[in-house]
């Protein structure tokens, strides 16, 4: 066991734990102590899907449909470390990400031997918070689309005592499309919980299971068992790939640690057919435009002042700059309401066409719940081809103090005073 970090003993952490124990609602509403605040917005998390572009595009080059489904499973498993363990590995603990505002964008690309893989991530809803993304490699003809929200319940009652315990259910899904075979893979998102809260070094553990269902009739089921009951290692998973409906007739199995290495075997012969080791797989860093060249609505530019203040540990400036963004957003929503229009999403559209999802989801007993994600969101080719920076030249992100309605600035100052 790791030592208890000194911050865990602080009074701000114990009052944070108390607020968690009595919490039931929106994640973004939690007020956390400075050292647990991340400078990264949740809209950036979409990039975790493609840390290894060659693993992402590999299925497109495989002619055999069962092997292709296995390679999709391999790619999915390879993303879990980045999605769920990278922050605690890099920063020493999980942190509370910045809560994206409506219209926030995160754009980038990966360039390597797989060619160019592009990322568009957009905050399509604020209440509830929903992020939509599209990641594609035109060379290989592979495209991943998805959107997600989180529903959190932050406490557990044992003998009438409420304990801080964070369980997070993910709402939404991802669909991988391979042009060459015109096939689709529906990916469900695992639910998770936060461990290590009491000791002050929170980290993510995955719960139960998730699925990948292909339009070619293969199902992959991934079971997450936390502290593996066989191996005793944490972050253990065990996956099987089988012809849909025939779980007993597995074709491939995959076993290992989702934050480490794993092995894929032929289920009948037990022969090893593929392996994956994050230590041995090259990571391609995402290229993002320098902040000076970014649009006002691009995440890192928009949050720059907040992020700088967090790094300095300056809580007063952090809450001032944060409130400025929030108040300005409120102002925009008020204007939209007055004028009877909705915020224009640059890359995504609320869609009625969910037949593909339903067709695949039915096979694994999944349901779509659009009320929890403010609609069902799809990448809009037409919008995307028209979207050229500056994306929101008509809607300035910040106005100068003199141009802004005075309330925006005044109430930001008030919240900054409260925090100090």
User: Which residues contact ligand CLR (rule: CB under 6 A)?
Assistant: 27, 36, 42, 45, 48, 83-84, 94-97, 148, 150, 168, 170, 194, 202, 204
Three-state DSSP class for residue 225:
coil
Q: Which is nearer to ligand CLR, 216 or 234 (CB)?
A: 234
Residue 391 DSSP label: T
Residue 261, C-beta contacts closer than 8 angstroms, at least 6 positions apart: 275, 276, 277, 278, 279
Residue 127: CB minimum distance to ligand CLR, A:
16
CA pair distance 329, 255, nearest whole angstrom: 46
Give the shortest CB-95-to-ligand CLR separation in angstroms. Answer: 6
Q: What would the DSSP string read from start to end of 55-115?
A: HHHGGGG--SHHHHHHHHHHHHHHHHIIIIIHHHHHHSS--EEE-PPTT-EEEEEEEETTE
Task: Find the shortest distance in angstroms from Cβ 30 to ligand CLR.
Answer: 6
Q: Cβ of residue 166: shortest distance to ligand CLR, in angstroms?
A: 6
Q: How far is the CB of 111 from ligand CLR (least distance, A)?
A: 22
Which CB, 150 or 294, lies closer to ligand CLR?
150
**Residue ranges of E strands in 351-396:** 377-379
Nearer to ligand CLR among residue 83 and residue 215 (C-beta):
83
Q: DSSP letter string over 125-156?
A: ETTTTEEEEEEEETTTTEEEEEEEEEEEEEEE
Rg (CA), the chain: 22
Nearer to ligand CLR, 240 or 378 (CB): 378
3-class SS of residue 224: strand
CA 346 to chain centre: 19
The distance of closest approach from Cβ of residue 31 to ligand CLR in the complex, given in angstroms and rounded to an integer, is 11
Q: Let me know: does 116 contact 108? Beta carbons within 8 Å.
A: no
**In the complex with ligand CLR, which residue's Cβ is closer, 148 or 317?**
148
Rounded Cα distance between 122 and 113, Å, is: 27
Q: How far is the CB of 105 from ligand CLR (least distance, A)?
A: 16
Query: Does an H or E element contain 275, and which?
Result: strand 272-276
Q: Considering the complex, state which of residue 9 and residue 359 has its C-beta at the smaller distance from ligand CLR.
A: 9
Q: In angstroms, what is the minimal distance from the CB of 20 to ligand CLR?
A: 7
Q: How far is the CB of 402 from ligand CLR (least distance, A)?
A: 36
| Alpha-carbon span 67 to 218, nearest angstrom | 10
Tokens read off for 24? 């039931």
Residue (168 or 198) nearer to ligand CLR, CB: 168
| 94 vs 183, beta carbon nearer ligand CLR | 94
For the chain, the 3-state helix, strand and coil shares in percent, each to the nearest 5, are 35, 30, 35
């Amino acid at each position: 066991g790791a030592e208890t970090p000194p911050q865990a003993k602080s009074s701000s952490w114990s009052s944070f734990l108390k607020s968690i124990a009595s919490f039931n609602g929106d994640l973004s509403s939690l007020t956390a102590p400075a050292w647990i605040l991340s400078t990264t917005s949740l809209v950036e998390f979409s990039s975790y899907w493609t840390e290894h572009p060659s693993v992402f595009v590999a299925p497109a080059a495989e002619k055999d449909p069962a092997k292709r489904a296995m390679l999709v499973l391999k790619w999915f498993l390879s993303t879990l470390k980045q999605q769920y363990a990278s922050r605690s590995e890099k920063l020493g603990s999980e942190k509370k990400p910045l809560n994206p505002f409506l219209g926030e964008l995160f754009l980038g690309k990966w360039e390597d031997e797989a060619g160019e893989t592009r990322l568009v991530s957009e905050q399509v809803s604020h209440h509830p918070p929903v992020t939509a993304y599209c990641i594609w490699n035109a060379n290989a003809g592979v495209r991943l689309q998805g959107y997600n929200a989180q529903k959190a319940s932050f406490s557990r009652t044992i003998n009438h005592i409420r304990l801080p315990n964070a369980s997070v259910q993910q709402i939404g899904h991802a669909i991988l499309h391979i042009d060459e075979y015109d096939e689709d893979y529906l990916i469900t998102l695992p639910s998770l919980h936060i461990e290590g809260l009491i000791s002050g070094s929170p980290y993510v553990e995955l719960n139960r299971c998730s699925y990948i269902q292909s339009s070619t009739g293969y199902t992959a089921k991934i079971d997450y068992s936390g502290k593996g009951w066989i191996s005793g290692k944490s972050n253990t998973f065990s996956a099987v790939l089988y012809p849909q409906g025939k779980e007993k007739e597995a074709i491939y199995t995959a076993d290992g640690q989702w934050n480490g290495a794993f092995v894929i075997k032929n289920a009948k012969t037990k022969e090893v057919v593929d392996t994956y080791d994050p230590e041995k797989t090259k990571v391609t860093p995402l290229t993002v435009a320098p902040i000076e060249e970014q649009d006002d609505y691009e995440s890192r530019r928009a949050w720059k002042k907040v992020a700088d203040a967090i790094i300095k540990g300056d809580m007063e400036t952090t809450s001032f700059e944060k409130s400025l963004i929030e108040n300005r957003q409120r102002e925009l929503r008020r204007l939209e309401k007055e004028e009877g229009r909705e915020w224009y999403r640059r890359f995504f559209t609320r869609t009625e066409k969910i037949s593909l999802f339903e067709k695949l989801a039915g096979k694994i007993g999944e349901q779509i719940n659009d009320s929890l994600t403010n609609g069902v969101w799809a990448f809009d080719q037409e919008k995307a081809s028209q979207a050229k920076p500056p994306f929101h030249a008509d809607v300035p992100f910040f106005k100068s103090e003199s141009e802004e309605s005075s309330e925006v600035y005044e109430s930001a100052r008030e919240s900054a005073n409260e925090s100090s």
